[in-house]
Structure 1
Amino acid sequence: MDIVTVSPKFQVVIPKELRQSLNIQAGQKLRARIQGEHIELIPEQPMSAARGFLAGIETQVSREEDRV
């Protein structure tokens, strides 16, 4: 576990190993939330990252007028 220091401007530096393992880039947004007694930072993924996650899903929807 790495230790970071809070600057006088309340900033912290994410250690290089953690940035690399999560592929965090400069300017990327992180969601911050309190989890118990600690702070959790969650990388925000761009909408383009969701492309194709429903591959193979059935896209034909049965409509009421089709059942008549």
Structure 2
Amino acid sequence: METVKVSPKYQVVIPKSIRKVLKIKPGEQMVIVEKDGIVRLIPIGDIRKTRGLARGLSTKGLRDESERFD
């Protein structure tokens, strides 16, 4: 477990060990969520990393346009 300090500007530095494991780079965006007094920082994944994820996926059985609501 790492400890961080809040700066006068309410900023914290993500420890190097955490940045390395999560491969966080400068400028990356994160979502911050508070629940039950616990703050979580969640990296927003790069959409480009999902390229090719559905390659070869069959679209058979999907609704066609005539079934869509107007």
Match of 2:55 in 1: 55
Matching of residues 24-39 of structure 1 within 5 Å:
24-39=24-39
| TM-score, structure 2 normalization | 0.78
Instruction: Mark the runs of 5 or more structure 1 residues left unpaired by the alignment.
Output: none
State the AA in 1 paired with 2:6. V
Match of 2:44 in 1: 44
Report the Cα distance in structure 1 between the residues aligned to 2:64 and 2:3, rounded to whole angstroms: 57
Report the Cα distance in structure 2 between the residues aligned to 1:36 and 1:8, rounded to whole angstroms: 24
Residues 3 and 59 of structure 1: CA distance in aligned 2, closer, same or farther (over 3 Å): same
> SS where residue 48 of structure 1 aligns?
helix
Residues 63 and 36 of structure 1: CA distance in aligned 2, closer, same or farther (over 3 Å): same
| Alignment coverage as a number of residue pairs | 65
| TM-score, structure 1 normalization | 0.81
Between the aligned residues of both structures, percent identity stands at 38
